[in-house]
Amino acid sequence: MVLVSRKEHFNAAHKLYNPAWSKEKNEQVFGPCANENWHGHNFELIVTVKGKPDPDTGFVIDLKKLSLLIRTEITDQLDHKNLNLDVPFMTGKLASCENLIIEIWKILEPRIAAISRYGRLHQLRLYETPRNFVDYFGEGQTS
């Protein structure tokens, strides 16, 4: 089994805000991340697929197809967008990296299985900044 990874990026705005709370409580909990006028980041997304290399191609998955899938399904939906307002799959969810990476997994996991004979989604990593990032291995999975 080999792991194959592809990194893509998107630039987006968001705020951290729980609508069940007062403005004061949001500012107390989320600090400057709760700024009602938004802030933003250059996000980097790494998608890792695990499987046996296909003997005919030497590939676990064709990275051109994986890149195209990530762009079509994920980064085209997120790039130059507002994560709280513009993204259907984030509607009604707190726009944290933890919640975002779980939603990205739900979209990519079946689609990668559909385009790859040998590979299955194994890990996602999402950088919000070079110093803050999250990883997800799917429900019930551990690293």
Smallest gap from residue 113 Cβ to a second copy (A):
18
Q: Token digits for 105?
A: 């997994």
**Contacts to a second copy from residues 5-64, by CB under 8 A:** 5-9, 11-14, 16, 18, 20, 29-33, 35, 37-42, 48, 53, 56-60, 62-64
> Beta partners for 110?
none
User: Is 33 considered catalytic here?
Assistant: yes
Q: Does 99 bind a second copy (CB under 8 A)?
A: yes
Task: Spell out the alpha helix ranges (H) of 97-139.
Answer: 97-115
φ, ψ of residue 116 to 5 degrees: the values are: -125, 130
H/E stretch holding 78 reads: helix 76-78
Smallest gap from residue 63 Cβ to a second copy (A):
6
d(CA 110, CA 18): 30
Closest to 74 measured CA to CA, from 50, 53, 105, 35: 105
Q: Looking at the annotation, which residues are catalytic?
A: 33, 80, 128
Report the interface residues with a second copy, using CB under 8 A: 1-9, 11-14, 16, 18, 20, 29-33, 35, 37-42, 48, 53, 56-60, 62-64, 79-82, 85-86, 93-99, 101-102, 122, 129-137, 142-143
